[in-house]
Amino acid sequence: MYNPYNNQAYRSFPEVDVTILGESSKLAKKMINDVDTVLDTLETDKAFSTQLMNAAQESDYNEVNRLLGTLNLESDYKVNFNPDGIRIEFTPKAPNQYYSNMGISLRWR
């Protein structure tokens, strides 16, 4: 809606610094590689997929984490699952570099 009395105060923005954006992008690439590794393994390795699903359906967090650990992922990850599927949230391993995160949710039911 047009407002003839636009009283919006002028706001100045800080100078642009793309350093953190660049670091975030670099870390995101590593996480994308890890997501790709997980997805490729789940797509092509039926034995791995079966073990992962069975462990998740039995609420065996230790086994799910052990299985994912065999993939030699560069990122830290946190796993949540329910009877319908699994969610894996990736974060950078480097301390104090929580510039970005990435997650995948996959269903099996």
pLDDT tens per residue across span 21-56: 898 888 899 999 999 999 999 999 999 999 999 999
The CA distances from residue 40 to 13, 33, 49, 59, 102, in Å, are 43, 10, 11, 23, 17
Model pTM score: 0.82
pLDDT of residue 96: 72
What pLDDT is stored for residue 14 in this prediction? 86
| Structure token digits, residue 109 | 């039911």
32: left (phi over 0), alpha (psi -120 to 50) or beta: alpha
Residue 90, helix vs strand vs coil:
strand
Nearest CA-CA partner of 102 in 38, 22, 20: 38
**Strand ranges inside the chain, DSSP E:** 76-82, 85-91, 102-107
What integer is the mean pLDDT of 77-102? 88
pLDDT of residue 18: 92
